[in-house]
Amino acid sequence: MEGIKFNQVGIAFKGSGSYVPDQILTNQKISQKVDTSDEWIKSRTGISERRIAGFGDNVSEMGYKAALTAIKMANWDIKTIDLIVLATSTPNDLFGSAPSIQAKLGANNAVAFDLTAACSGFLFALITASQFLKGGSFKRAIVIGADQLSSFVDWNDRRSCILFGDGAGALAIEATSEFDNLIGFDMRTDGQRGSFLNLPSKNNEDSIIENIDFLSGGFASIKMNGQEVYKFAVREVPIILEKLFIRNNYSSAEIDWLVLHQANQRILDSVGDRLKIPREKILSNLDKYGNTSAATIPLMMDEAIRNNRIKQNDIIATSGFGAGLSWGAALIKWG
Ligand code: ACO
């Protein structure tokens, strides 16, 4: 794609898609591995089960399947896609997994790249892609969130292994000169609090030949201070959303749906309470999937769109938050 200038002012949302692996890991099954119980996990997190990628699945395969269903809903000719942005922290190729999704789709005219911002990744990718569209460089984009945290969870750590699952979601967005359905957004990071949630590299000291040292590459497992992450989320997410509402002249009563990163039901409820958004407007599917990191927001949106809950012109307030620490929010009109 050569960055041709179109006269565009805004974004239209044209399609959604998602994919989760077949393997179901229930709370009851996790309790065979670590000292926990279905009752503890459900009451503290709202999670009942999660999907785990099997040997045939990886981020590019899951992302491809989610993207393809979004493209079908949008009814696009695949050759008209200009941009593919994949939000992931767990690429199956450290050099980037988006190009392999481009190849699987046959989207030969698109440029494809990865973006990493943990559980804020989808929102950051959506905002990034929308800037290319609003700037007039590209017309059609697929934004994907896909993660396979099961590969990096310490399956002996009961404080974290209960939370995560695998999956992918995608949205198809298009530049338009008539309106802007990405009403507003905000993005934040605070690296000083980054140690609350990490997936650090783990290098072994080795030498290539005598007197030439090197570090062999690899990764440790997820390290999390659950209580600090919890406090961060319930404090910062209402603040960023409230500021967004004020800046765009919306009141929380005008919000049809609150679509938060699906980390913990107690976080969802607490943010909803602080914003005075009633429970029936807070979308949640983490009982089935747990925290799928960059995938949660499009996975939730796709389910609600296909169930006819989110309808054309509905106003959606969305926020992603997590490692970095990073957080972001967007106000969207669906359609
Ligand atoms: N089963 C049974 N007991 C457990 C378990 C478990 N799975 N995990 C911890 N406990 C125990 C602890 O050992 C502790 O016992 P102790 O008091 O004897 O030491 C007790 O339960 C309470 O532990 P807390 O850590 O205080 O439990 P808390 O109520 O904070 O819940 C949780 C923990 C669910 C992790 C919560 O802190 C949370 O959800 N935090 C947010 C985490 C999160 O969302 N992370 C992802 C962010 S998004 C991203 O970017 C990846």
CA of 208 to the centre of ligand 1 (A): 42
User: Could you tell me the two tokens for 257?
Assistant: 């749906």
Hey, whose CA ends up nearest to atom 2 of ligand 1?
36
User: Could you tell me the two tokens for 50?
Assistant: 């999660």
| pLDDT interval class at 165 (50, 70, 90) | very high
Mean pLDDT rounded to a whole number for the chain: 96
Round to whole Å and give the CA distance between 109 and 152: 34
Substitution site in 119, 190, 221, 264 for ligand 1 pocket (most atoms within 8 Å of beta carbon): 264
> Does residue 33 line the site of ligand 1, with CB under 6 A?
no
| Active-site residue list | 119, 261, 291
Q: What is the mean pLDDT of residues 215-222?
A: 94
Q: Is the dihedral of CA 264, 266, 271, 276 positive or negative?
A: positive
CA of 230 to the centre of ligand 1 (A): 9
Do the beta carbons of residue 71 and residue 56 sit within 8 Å? no
Check pLDDT > 80 for residue 3: no
CA of 160 to the centre of ligand 1 (A): 7
| pLDDT interval class at 6 (50, 70, 90) | low
CA of 231 to the centre of ligand 1 (A): 12
Check pLDDT > 60 for residue 1: no
Q: Is the dihedral of CA 255, 256, 261, 266 positive or negative?
A: positive
Q: Which domains occur in the chain, in start order?
A: 10-179 (3.40.47.10), 183-193+221-333 (3.40.47.10)
What would the pLDDT profile of 189-209 be if each residue is shown by its tens digit?
999 999 999 999 999 999 999
Q: How far apart are the first and last CA of the chain?
A: 25
CA 87 from centre of chain: 7
Round to whole Å and give the CA distance between 278 and 271: 10
Do the beta carbons of residue 81 and residue 142 sit within 8 Å? yes
Check pLDDT > 90 for residue 8: no
Round to whole Å and give the CA distance between 260 and 183: 17
Hey, whose CA ends up nearest to atom 19 of ligand 1?
159
| pLDDT interval class at 62 (50, 70, 90) | very high
CA of 226 to the centre of ligand 1 (A): 5
> Any idea how long the chain is?
335
> Does residue 159 line the site of ligand 1, with CB under 6 A?
yes
Substitution site in 223, 227, 237 for ligand 1 pocket (most atoms within 8 Å of beta carbon): 227
Round to whole Å and give the CA distance between 237 and 254: 18
> Does residue 323 line the site of ligand 1, with CB under 6 A?
yes
> Does residue 152 line the site of ligand 1, with CB under 6 A?
no
CA angle (117 as vertex; 112, 123 as ends), nearest 5:
75
CA of 286 to the centre of ligand 1 (A): 16
Query: Cis omega (within 30 of 0) on the bond before 83?
Result: no
Hey, whose CA ends up nearest to atom 28 of ligand 1?
227
Indicate the angle between helix axes 59-74 and 98-105, nearest 10 degrees: 50
Check pLDDT > 60 for residue 120: yes
Map the chain to HEC letters.
Answer: CCCCCCCCCEEEEEEEEEECCCEEEEHHHHCCCCCCCHHHHHHHHCCCEEEECCCCCCHHHHHHHHHHHHHHHHCCCHHHCCEEEEECCCCCCCCCCHHHHHHHHCCCCCEEEEECCHHHHHHHHHHHHHHHHHCCCCCEEEEEEEEEHHHCCCCCCCCCCCCECEEEEEEEEEEECCCCCEEEEEEEECHHHHHHEECCECCEEEEEECCEEEEECCECCCEECHHHHHHHHHHHHHHHHHHHHHHCCCCHHHCCEEEECCCCHHHHHHHHHHHCCCHHHECCCHHHHCECHHHHHHHHHHHHHHCCCCCCCCEEEEEEEECCCEEEEEEEECC
Q: Which atom of ligand 1 is nearest to the CA of 224?
A: 45
CA of 69 to the centre of ligand 1 (A): 35
Hey, whose CA ends up nearest to atom 47 of ligand 1?
322
What would the pLDDT profile of 223-274 be if each residue is shown by its tens digit?
999 999 999 999 999 999 999 999 999 999 999 999 999 999 999 999 999 9
pTM of the model: 0.95
Hey, whose CA ends up nearest to atom 30 of ligand 1?
227
> Does residue 264 line the site of ligand 1, with CB under 6 A?
yes
| pLDDT interval class at 24 (50, 70, 90) | very high
Q: What is the mean pLDDT of residues 320-332?
A: 97
Among the listed residues 64, 54, 138, 58, the one whose alpha carbon sits nearest the alpha carbon of residue 90: 58
What would the pLDDT profile of 65-115 be if each residue is shown by its tens digit?
999 999 999 999 999 999 999 999 999 999 999 999 999 999 999 999 999
Check pLDDT > 60 for residue 314: yes
> Does residue 227 line the site of ligand 1, with CB under 6 A?
yes
Q: What is the mean pLDDT of residues 31-46?
A: 97
Q: What is the pLDDT of residue 9?
A: 84
Q: Which atom of ligand 1 is nearest to the CA of 326?
A: 50
